[in-house]
Structure 1
Amino acid sequence: MAVPERRHQRHVTLTAIAQACGVAPSTVSRALSNPNRVSTAMYERIARKAREMGYFSALLPQADDWRAHGTIGLVVPNLTNPFLYDLVRGSQGQAQTAGYFHLLVSTDESPSVESTWLTDLARTVNGIVIVSPRTTDEALRSVADAVPVVVVNRQVDSLSSVVIDTPVGAAQAVDYLSSLGHHRVAYVRGPENSWTDRVRYAALREAAKHHDAEIVPIGAFHPSLSAGAAAADAVSLSAATAAVFFNDTLAIGALGRFRERGVRVPEDISVIGCDDIFGSAFVTPPLTTVTTSGERAGRTATEILIGHFATKDHAPRVEHLAVHLTVRASTGPVPAERTASELQR
């Protein structure tokens, strides 16, 4: 299936589109040159109006010209993490607005399943966005030899990627916990083959050096609520006064288990998650977490992929998405008196 060439009909101006949408020409320019710089709703509104007025570009193929369209495959490690729902929505919205069919695949955290899907997709789609891949760099580059690939949450030499700077957020978490007096911090690790987990753990350890703190690694855990409950038991045996979890799903599962054990959060132990998924602000207590935008990550990765279709320049492009620590009620000062036996009760 052919991918579209970059083309414009110059008689439809950005100013005319802006007037029709009731926005500034600069907003239209940002939307049509780099959709990540405006909201999804604004992009879709401008893109729809641009097509109606006869403006064409590689990012805006004609809605009825299906021969000019392709298929974008989105490969995710699981469908249980709410953060990935937002990422899927961002990727799907970007693909559909640009006129591409969007195919979603989950690997269920299996490297072998992931490898099989990537091999099959490379023969059937025009490009692939793969999120937190578990396969090797060499395997990913092999797929990229057959079809354009953009990787989310991993950096691979010679491939485009979108990297969410959660290691920076992890370091912020250590800084914050140290300011509260915590010097023994458990890190509940994610899946064994997760690149994100490895770089985040390294960032935690590096940040701990600056505060004379200790990071206690626990697990590797599948990112699920039930695994979070199991992780809470392991944290309770660690004598840590605070715990940073690989993601919010694990942290929320742990909060429930701590309640069952009579361990108070944050009076007995402080808890920090990652991703700021929907619901993390509504659990008891509300979860302190590293905040980022899954929708923006999905949109950015798909926009980069479509950009590779549109130009002859396939040089790797790496985008970093900023994060910040959102402080809520699950963190507090280290207890004045704390023993391992108290935590294990």
Structure 2
Amino acid sequence: MADDRVTIYDVAKAAGVAPSTVSRAFSRPGRVSAATHAKVMASAKALDYRTTAPATQERGVRHQRLGIEIADLTNPYFAELVSGMQEAAQEQDFLLLLLDTVEDVDRERASLESALDVVDGIVLSGTRLSDATLNHLSKRLPVVVLNRRVAGLDSVTPDYEHGMGQAMAHLAENGIRTVTYVAGPVNSWSDGERWRAARTAARSHDLLVHRHGPFAPTIAGGEQAFEDLREKLPHAVVCYNDLVAFGFLVAALRAGVKIPAELSIMGHDDIPLSRYLGGGLTTVVTPKRAQGSAAIERLIRRIENPSAHRTPVEGSLPVRLVPRGTTGPRGQA
């Protein structure tokens, strides 16, 4: 078997142990029994398995740490995402180093630069950096991107088209004719994909859809969006995320708007609060834990054998609409 096709998973299968055990046998031999260590080493030798590392790590041993970039630590969406990452990383004996960029490109760039020498790879879950910058970063260590596709890089994204299709179908079934998409950050790839999918789905259901924004992906951003639209409200708004939807909902209720009789409101992400606020927020659910876990597993494969996959791996995870109290038949109290 050729060197560049033998991975830690091949060794694990041959030795009859978990991939994480193989990882410990090489990086922390004191954490496995002598018998297990000997079995792993024998299997690795038989398969001619050689541990390799990216160029930035050739100077020393592996760190067993992964950098996790998130756009806003205060957004509950990232808590579940990181939880999935942490579970997957712990199984493979890696620690996570959290990098909160607070939606600031300069801070993101500085944080990533500082982390390069202390992590073995990075997951970018809310990056606002350019494609060129991300490709340059990937030449220095393995990178996996979430909620965005970048040519040449591994990525894991939700199926925005399917999710928005369900959303528009639900609104049309409830007598909605005019929809406003309340946009998120101007440089957000996922925002652009949601808007593209919204236009396509709206045409399929004879809905008139407009885009309004950008707005900060926060409750305050949602409140500002309502103030901008309050003089001429559409039948429904589909918001960039649940936080924006909450802000829009609270501002609408303060102004005496009847929800959903006069206005239906929908978000994205299904953060925990979505299920408990009033009759609940209608939202498009993304598989956050599964997405985080898939990203970590893919990143570790890149770290263990950088040349095993010469082309980027792109994955799309299913999403689903969860109707709750903020959407319903128009005109009914």
Residue 269 of structure 2 corresponds to: 275
Query: Does the 8 A contact of 1:190 with 1:219 survive in 2?
Result: yes
- Give the drift of 1:105: 0.4
Query: Does the 8 A contact of 1:276 with 1:289 survive in 2?
Result: yes
- Give the drift of 1:122: 2.7
| 1:328 matches 2:330 | no
- DSSP 3-state at the match of 2:139: helix
Residue 89 of structure 2 corresponds to: 95
Counterpart AA for 2:210? V
Counterpart AA for 1:313? A
Query: Does the 8 A contact of 2:63 with 2:119 survive in 1?
Result: no
Q: 1:93 to 1:159 in 2, by over 3 A?
A: same
**Aligned-residue identity in percent:** 33
Residue 108 of structure 2 corresponds to: 114
Counterpart AA for 1:249? L
Residue 199 of structure 1 corresponds to: 193
- DSSP 3-state at the match of 1:128: strand
The C-alpha deviation readout for 1:58-110, integer Å capped at 9, x for no partner, is 9xx9xxxxx55522100011112111011111112222221112100011111
| 1:318 matches 2:314 | yes
Residue 77 of structure 2 corresponds to: 83
Query: Does the 8 A contact of 1:132 with 1:196 survive in 2?
Result: no
Distance 2:301 2:13 in 1: 20
- Give the drift of 1:9: 6.4
Counterpart AA for 1:95? A
Distance 1:303 1:11 in 2: 20
Distance 1:255 1:248 in 2: 10
Count how many residue pairs are aligned between Structure 1 and Structure 2. 296
Give 5+ residue unaligned stretches, structure 1: 15-27, 33-49, 62-66, 338-345
Residue 151 of structure 1 corresponds to: 145
Distance 1:12 1:238 in 2: 67
Residue 136 of structure 1 corresponds to: 130
Q: 1:119 to 1:9 in 2, by over 3 A?
A: closer
Distance 1:71 1:286 in 2: 38
- Give the drift of 1:271: 0.8
Query: Does the 8 A contact of 1:184 with 1:240 survive in 2?
Result: yes
- Give the drift of 1:336: 7.6
Give 5+ residue unaligned stretches, structure 2: 1-6, 21-30, 45-50, 52-60
Distance 1:322 1:11 in 2: 33
- Give the drift of 1:11: 8.0
| 1:209 matches 2:203 | yes
The C-alpha deviation readout for 1:259-284, integer Å capped at 9, x for no partner, is 11111111110111111111201001
The C-alpha deviation readout for 1:302-324, integer Å capped at 9, x for no partner, is 11000112223133111111001
Which region of structure 1 is more displaced relative to structure 2, 110-119 or 198-207? 110-119
Residue 239 of structure 1 corresponds to: 233
Query: Does the 8 A contact of 1:228 with 1:252 survive in 2?
Result: yes
Distance 2:123 2:133 in 1: 14
- Give the drift of 1:166: 2.7
- Supply the RMSD in Å over aligned alpha carbons: 2.8
Residue 98 of structure 2 corresponds to: 104
Query: Does the 8 A contact of 1:216 with 1:238 survive in 2?
Result: no
- Give the drift of 1:212: 2.4
Distance 1:310 1:170 in 2: 37
Q: Which runs of 4+ in 1 moved over 4 A?
A: 9-12, 50-53, 55-58
Q: 1:51 to 1:214 in 2, by over 3 A?
A: farther
- Give the drift of 1:293: 2.0
TM-score, normalised to structure 1, is 0.78
Distance 1:331 1:275 in 2: 16
- DSSP 3-state at the match of 1:279: helix
Residue 43 of structure 1 corresponds to: none
- Give the drift of 1:10: 6.7
Distance 1:92 1:109 in 2: 22
Residue 176 of structure 2 corresponds to: 182
Query: Does the 8 A contact of 1:162 with 1:319 survive in 2?
Result: yes
Distance 2:75 2:294 in 1: 20
Query: Does the 8 A contact of 1:169 with 1:290 survive in 2?
Result: yes
Query: Does the 8 A contact of 2:222 with 2:248 survive in 1?
Result: yes
- Give the drift of 1:214: 1.4
